[in-house]
Structure 1
Amino acid sequence: MTADLTATSRSRRKPKGEGHERRAEILAAAERIFVDHGYEGATIRKIADEVGLSSTALYMHFADKGEILQEICKQTFTALLEANRSVIAEPASPVERMRRMMRAYIDFGFDNPNAYRLVYMTRPLELREGAQDAAREMGGDLFRSFQQVVEAAAAEGHVRGEPRATAQALWAGGHGIVSLMIAKPYFDWVEREVLVDTLLEGLLAGLLKS
């Protein structure tokens, strides 16, 4: 479970005995502050105030805000990798696994918009303090697990084009719908499930052989 799913209300100061809850609260608060103020505008003081801690107490959990962002990235990619592994473990054809992975990725983005923004919609400059390495390594693993399923579908003769390009095109389509709907909530979108289904079926119809 990512920090987006923890309580979003500002915490009161807690006794030391309840400190085991603080790390998750710090990550949830940091997600909101990073999104609202940008990485440069987010300070340890702001994050600590949101959680109800002193800056000194926050440093007991994280060395700096770069480490906080790195942990958010790690948790996000871990959750997405676990979703892919769950799909792979279930009996299904490669094409059906592609569809399920795409759906899991899109659903995750909508369920965890702050984490998604930070991992996939943050400028590289703001990821430089350690988070970029996590994004590159774990994000690479995530894409490769999807690409392998596309390659399996290609081996069965279902893919029209080159498998890696097909995997990237599908990922780009999934990212597009999540990022646009998160960034432009005021647009007159059709019902979300209808739009997601239309996108997925259209992409698969165009990129796969019937």
Structure 2
Amino acid sequence: MTVEIAIDDDTPADRRRRKVRDAIIDAAEVIFTAEGEEGISMRRLADSIDYSPAAIYKYFASKDDLFEAIRDTFFERLMERIRGAQEVGGETPSLCARCMRAYIETGIEEPNHYMMAFSTGKKIAPHVHDEQDVAFQAEHALVGMIEAGMAEGVFRTVDPKLASKSVWASLHGLTTLMVSMEGFPAGMPGSEHVTADAVIDFHTDMMLRGLRA
């Protein structure tokens, strides 16, 4: 019998560096969650963890680099929520609805992170996919659910990649409204029953109706 032994190639210096980097990100997350991008400065961040600004710059060359790290950790949390919704199992339409709700709720719970994550103006290279990229993983999961629904006969035959883009655009639109428009979905008199939960349920149902066979 062959026994495979995992080898940790990290040196003690590598581990210390990663620990310090994680501590910087954690401290930045606390400030960012409460105050957004405007609350972050390298000096304030350094003071919060008893480091010098020069020490922070050894790990992050600029605020943009730091924001990129915060963005990455947000996308990882978002993907964890989607995976958690998938792991519950069940019929494909209800599985899709749970994943859609998980996406929207994560954005609502972390509004500063969500708005920053999609406000960079970053271009997407066409036809280039990195399987380690969380955005690719999320799209792959959505495409997989649509393909599963088609195979089961509960979704009509569509281009799953095209459908996934349409579903994401719709999810992103509602999430952005809920995050950026204070009081949404409150509206005209007599619409008190139109709660955030009701809008999310209706929205996901409408998207699924568009996919159903």
1:62 partner amino acid: F
Q: 1:56 aligns with which of 54, 57, 82?
A: 54
Partner of 1:154: 150
Partner of 2:191: none
Partner of 2:9: none
Partner of 2:162: 165
Q: Could you tell me how far 1:46 is from its partner in structure 2? A: 5.7
1:187 and 1:102, CA in 2 relative to 1: closer, same or farther beyond 3 A? closer
Unmatched tracts of structure 1, length 5 or more: 1-18
The answer to whether the Cα contact below 8 Å between 1:30 and 1:47 also exists between their aligned partners in 2 is: no
Instruction: Give 1 or 2 for the bigger CA radius of gyration.
Output: 2
The root-mean-square deviation of aligned C-alpha atoms, in Å, is 3.3
1:179 aligns with 2:181: no
Unmatched tracts of structure 2, length 5 or more: 1-20, 187-193
The answer to whether the Cα contact below 8 Å between 2:100 and 2:171 also exists between their aligned partners in 1 is: yes
The answer to whether the Cα contact below 8 Å between 2:177 and 2:184 also exists between their aligned partners in 1 is: no
Of stretches 23-32 and 70-79 in structure 1, the one that deviates more from structure 2 is 23-32
CA distance in 1, matches of 2:172, 2:135: 13
Q: 2:82 aligns with which of 81, 84, 89?
A: 84
Partner of 1:7: none
Q: 1:200 aligns with which of 201, 204, 207?
A: 204
Aligned runs of 1:42-121 on 2, under 5 Å? 43-45=41-43, 47-48=45-46, 54-59=52-57, 62-121=60-119
CA deviation string 1:52-110 (max 9, x = no partner): 86423433553432331221122112112222322333231222211111011011000
Q: Could you tell me how far 1:29 is from its partner in structure 2? A: 2.3
- The number of equivalent residue pairs is 181
Aligned runs of 1:16-55 on 2, under 5 Å? 22-30=24-32, 35-36=37-38, 43-45=41-43, 47-48=45-46, 54-55=52-53
Q: What's the % identity of the aligned pairs? A: 24
Q: Could you tell me how far 1:184 is from its partner in structure 2? A: 1.7
Which fold has the larger relative contact order, with Cα–Cα distance below 8 Å and residues 6 or more apart in sequence? 1
2:205 partner amino acid: E
1:181 and 1:59, CA in 2 relative to 1: closer, same or farther beyond 3 A? same
Which structure is higher in helix share? 1
The answer to whether the Cα contact below 8 Å between 2:29 and 2:70 also exists between their aligned partners in 1 is: yes
The answer to whether the Cα contact below 8 Å between 1:31 and 1:118 also exists between their aligned partners in 2 is: no
